[in-house]
Copies of this chain bind each other. A is one copy, B any other.
Amino acid sequence: MPEPPCAPPPNGQARRRQRTHQAFLDAAAQLMAEGRTSASIEEITRRAGVGFGTFYNHFDTKEQLFEEAVLGLLDSYATWLRNVTSELQDPAESFARSFRLTGRLAVRRADLFAPILNAGTEVMFMERGLRQAALADIRAGIATGRFIDEDPEILLVAVGGALLGLVRLISSGTLPGPDRATDALATRLLCLLGLDAADAHALTARPLPPTPDLHWNDDNPHS
């Protein structure tokens, strides 16, 4: 049966819709990186390179767009962390490598971390892949006796809050040696998690694999 004229196949329409949606998310991520979440919907649509009316076909409010953009980033970051630690068995070593590579990534990709910093402590409570993965790692550390037997939520806010603080410190550009600082903080956080200092230091002195780049929206269902 011939296709009706002038009606693009549904796949094409869905793809276009996805492209527009992604253009909005990219524009939102850029604006957040510039600290400009007060930008008007008009400016956002201009950045996205789409028509003004399009916005409301995709989002109810500006806040919804910004939140979805941050969630997409967190998903990408969770995927990245899974990839860089997949072969490690020890939860303490996995934590040390995740943390140390994150610090190195934050030096190179301030643009990707700025929206996360902008969202503040809220990111630790967004029910998405990253939070679940972090809690699972902490629980594994407790179960294997590597970490102290404390409420995983408490350990999560400590480690997550310290990481946010470090990324913010790195983003200020005033830190003389961000890699050394990152490793030092990883050592101290391992002590917080229950390791003794010598053990913690041995883990954070190990050679690191090269830092893979974080690809925006790797894990985003809309990309």
Contact = CB atoms under 8 A, between A and B. Distances in A.
Interface stretch (A24-32, A70-78, A184-192, A209-217): A184-192
Main secondary structure of the interface of A (DSSP, over half): helix
Contacts of A194: 191
Nearest to A150: B184
A103 B150 CA distance: 17
Copies in the complex: 2
Contacts of A81: none
A144 interface: no
A154 interface: yes
A142 interface: no
Contacts of A165: 121, 124, 156-158, 160-161, 164
A122 B166 CA distance: 11
A122 B168 contact: yes
Contact of A185 (B118, B158, B172): B158
A150 B188 contact: yes
A52 interface: no
Interface-centre pick from A121, A167, A197 (highest chain B CB count, 10 A): A121
When A and B form their complex, which 5 residue pairs have the shortest distance between CB atoms, in order from nearest?
A120-B120, A157-B165, A161-B165, A161-B161, A121-B168
Interface of A: 38, 117-122, 124-125, 148, 150-151, 153-169, 172, 175, 181, 184-185, 188-189, 191-194, 197
Given A148-B197, A155-B188, 5 more contacts: A153-B181, A154-B166, A159-B162, A162-B162, A164-B164
